[in-house]
Amino acid sequence: MHIEPLEDLRAGQWDSYVDSCPNGTIFHRSAWRDIIRKSTGHRPYYLAALKGESVCGILPLFILKTGIFGKMAVSLPFLNVGGIISDSPEAEKALADESAAYAHKMGLRYVELRQRYATQLDLPVSDRKVVSIFSLTGGPEAVFSRLHQNVRNKIRKAEKNEVIIEKGAGGLDEFYRVYARNLRDLGTPVISYNFFQCIVDAFPDEAEVYVARRRGDVIGAKLVLFDRQTCYFVWAAARRDRMKYAPVQALNWAAIQDACKNECAEIDMGRSTKDSSQQSFKKYWGVEVHPLPWTYQLIGDSAMPGLNPDNPKFALAVRTWRRLPVCLTRLIGPPLARRLP
């Protein structure tokens, strides 16, 4: 077995392995190497384990220079899922050994593997994040009947309040306006518009933009990704002053119906902090909650990293950011957001 960087392989060989691996996701595909590199400037380090000429494991990594937080490697930044996928513990260990060696060489603080499924590596694992999954078995009518009554009522309420859902890449501008405003309200810098444009360009058949309108007014939007069996709810936002019209429920239901048409088996409603209000909202959709076993190689640190918006150290920055004009946060947010994976 030997390890090679993606540059020495054809991207098609990498993607064929992702498609054939049971734990492979759309986020493991090679397109993210160019999406993140072009939109943020971070350097990729994509590794493949090979037996002979056959790929038996992969690890997509990005090297981040965060300034005051030091340098780290993340698989994958700005996304919920990444990490190692492999055919065997042997390939898994070989990839982890190579990433650790590279991290030592580059003077990194740590390597963060955003695993969807646990590895067999003897490494520290965080239990802070969870993912919410619900089944699409039975199609739209069966799914609707399984939803909590409050959710069904909100979907009907959106219809009665003349909320219309439009979809298509042409709605990306509206999506970004609502998304940037929503993140400002949460006290979080927004990543660049180019990041989302690159996603839509790279995945014309897998990415879908939904926009919720009421009487011509944009009140919510979301961008979802489809792979062979899962529809991923990754980025979404709604205007807080229009929540009474239930745009979130309307957007989710439109995406659920499309996922059923695409013969997806499940919806991934994205990651949440365990026991958070966001997680409480998702439970009404009938989700099953699973831990996200994010795994760490601690290189220059002896303690688990605390680089997340829930860290009390960020409280003052969050309060300050919420007071800024949206137009200013759209200007100065992306250079900051690229340093917060």
**pLDDT value of residue 306:** 62
- 10 Å Cβ neighbour count for 266? 17
**pLDDT value of residue 263:** 95
Could you identify the residue written with the tokens 């990839």? 95
Beta carbons of 63 and 45 less than 8 angstroms apart = yes
* Half-sphere exposure at residue 228, Cβ-oriented, CA atoms within 13 angstroms: 12
**pLDDT value of residue 274:** 83
Q: Are domains 2-128+293-305 and 137-264 of this chain identical in fold? A: yes
Beta carbons of 113 and 84 less than 8 angstroms apart = yes
3-state secondary structure of 175: helix
Fold of 2-128+293-305: Aminopeptidase (3.40.630)
Separation of alpha carbons 18 and 76, rounded Å:
15
What tokens appear for 232 in the block? 């991923």
Separation of alpha carbons 79 and 270, rounded Å:
10
**pLDDT value of residue 317:** 80
Beta carbons of 77 and 42 less than 8 angstroms apart = yes
Q: Which CATH class is domain 137-264?
A: alpha beta
**pLDDT value of residue 310:** 60
Q: Please provide the DSSP assignment of 203-237 as one string.
A: -TTTEEEEEEEETTEEEEEEEEEE-SSEEEEEEEE
So where are the chain's domains? 2-128+293-305, 137-264
**Taken in order 214, 216, 219, 224, is the CA torsion positive or negative?**
positive
Residue 325, class by beta-carbon neighbours within 10 Å (0-12 exposed, 13-18 middle, 19+ buried)?
Answer: exposed
Grouped pLDDT means (10 residues each) for the chain, 341 residues: 85 94 96 96 96 95 87 95 96 97 94 96 93 95 95 97 96 97 92 98 97 96 96 96 96 97 96 84 91 93 66 74 89 90 84
Beta carbons of 212 and 164 less than 8 angstroms apart = yes
**pLDDT value of residue 309:** 57
- What's the one-letter identity of residue 233? F
- What's the one-letter identity of residue 33? R
What tokens appear for 88 in the block? 């065997």
Beta carbons of 226 and 234 less than 8 angstroms apart = no
